Structure 1
Amino acid sequence: MRRTMRTNDDAAARGGVRDTERDGARDGARDADVADAKETVAGVTPTNLPSGDDRPGKPFHDLAKWATKAPEGEKLISTAYGDKVSEDLRFVKNEPGVHKPDPILVADKVTRKFGGMTAVNVDHFEIERHGITALIGPNGAGKTTFFNLMTGFDTPNTGSWTFDGHDLEHVRPERVARMGMVRTFQLTKVMSRLTVLDNMLLGAPVQLGEGMFRALVPGLWRKQEAANREKAEALLERFLLIKKKDDFAGALSGGQRKLLEMARALMSDPQLVMLDEPMAGVNPALKQSLLDHIMALREEGTTVLFVEHDINMVRHIADWVTVMAEGRIVAEGQPKSVMNDPAVIDAYLGAHANIDLGDDSVLEGLE
């Protein structure tokens, strides 16, 4: 995936603006990268990917504001993490349950039954670090249930799973979030009687003022509160909600609530973001912006797993696609190959989707 970057000083400055300090130790070095943002970063592979202070995190921060196509006078810039993931996955077999070069989430033998119905039956599943993975499938395939199991909102009947090497069995949802894996919901979860800004502040981790006695000493938490507020407002502006910051969250439209929930998830600087149908109910005019936000997350070092029914969107931004049907993973691979997989076509459209059932002779042949 390629993006563009303005070569004038104003664009370079925008490219260096951060909503918050992701890593205090790297901030000083990354600020120096902004001055060099005009140079093209090319040829990034798993063997020459920049590490440490040389990671090009700063210039990619404003990806959501860059044009999709290169206007006159702008240069192409290589998206380092995107190139790394593409290179890593290029030689991975397109088959269900395949192992990845650098997985961040790994699940084995995970099942969930409701009475006599098996909602999830995943033998093996991995997500590539720093990649954008799409989890697709028809309604009732078990995608949201699988999300619930991975994040601690539901308990599986069998199975084990790890996040960044840490066992997540019997780990409560709040601890999962603190470890760096956050999710959004298919039905948005916002505090309707709180303002949009207050909803954002709820997503900030380790707030010093959240204690009966510490709350009585403003000097302990006032500086952190100001930093959280600044970060929240920057994210709201990024998601086009800054004008709504003082409105009650209950007054937002369904699409705006989706944007608010996604912005709130980023308050904790997660390593893995799991988005459950992020485009559902979003105004078409905002969809392209949201797509750019998701791609910008990858270039900031965040791994993305999302559920989506819009196949065109999946084809446009996903590095890897996993297909679920009837609780099982039936296909995995590069977007182009998966879209042509007979198992995927069968799962979405049925085995005889391209047959004219109005022709009596065809019906006789099927019998």
Structure 2
Amino acid sequence: MSESDTVTGEASPVRKIIHIDMDAFYASVEQRDNPDLRGKPVAVGGSAERGVVAAASYEARQFGVRSAMPSVTAKRQCPDLIFVRPRFEVYKAISRQIRDIFAEHTPIIEPLSLDEAYLDVTENLQGIPLARDIALKIRGKIKAETDLNASAGISYNKFLAKLASDHRKPNGQFVISPEMGPAFVETLPVGRFHGIGPATAAKMNALGLFTGLDIRNQTLEFMNANFGKSGAYYYWISRGVDDRPVRANRIRKSIGAETTFSTDLAEYGALAAELKPLVDKVWRHCEATGNRGRTVTLKIKFADFEIITRSRSVAAAVAGRDDLERLACGLLEIEMPLPKRVRLLGVSLSALQIGDEAEPQLTLGI
């Protein structure tokens, strides 16, 4: 389960939830701003030799190119693929513009990323009775103001709203009513459930669970025994039940940055030097948002793509940028000498607090 909220299955008033998902957002922005890219397979990400695909245009997706795919693999699948460096400041500015459109209809907005959000429009600001009409109006204004397409899912809970937005992509919308919900879920392959990844789907298949109906036929005790704390979530969503609220101004769980090297590195000095700009980026975000955190995590990806992570938690929030760097470098020092050359390095800060909640750790004692 990807979100910390717990589904209890308790009866709640019928809500009107919209899930808005921008279509191939980063790639669509690049095609909008550069006419030469329109109608062509585009991947936003690092270089064709060393990077990872952050987003793919629909033309690229026809060749099987997907986000998080190594660029080398993507180029192999689509030889004509055009790689474009990401422009995150541009994407963030457009995301803020879209968020302002949402706010014309409801203050209850839960952003999931720059291009995706839940909206609770049960009591919307414009008094529009039908959520489908609100979604149409939002999508129309996004198109008019940004020249970008958005898809929307409308339902009575978050789980079904997200499923619905996937159902009519790109540039469409779909409604799953309370009457439709259980029947819609029962035919759905478990791998399509939001919150069920490939490993969990494989485990479910091994237990004879292939569709929502298969899960629905199990007891809550069976699901808890086999899937731990996520078992109840799967049990209830297979019945079309999800009482998690849309959380306005939801605080992200971590702040991180990572970089892939043009050549693999092994020496401590070179790796520590690469950590500095990553720490700068993480701390800039902390300063901009007021977030502070207590847990520093170092991510190392070796040349053979093996990944290890190492973490250190402190009693109170990390006080400053230099303290964050010392903690990250300390985690790296412990791993030296490394058994293999390093392809990627990342650093993140978690156990986040905001504003007055964050009492800084005055001395790290390391």
Structure with the higher strand share, 1 or 2? 2
The TM-score range, normalised by the shorter chain, is under 0.3
Determine which structure has greater relative contact order: mean sequence separation of CA pairs < 8 Å that are 6+ residues apart, divided by chain length. Answer: 1
Task: Tell me the TM-score normalised to structure 2 length.
Answer: 0.25
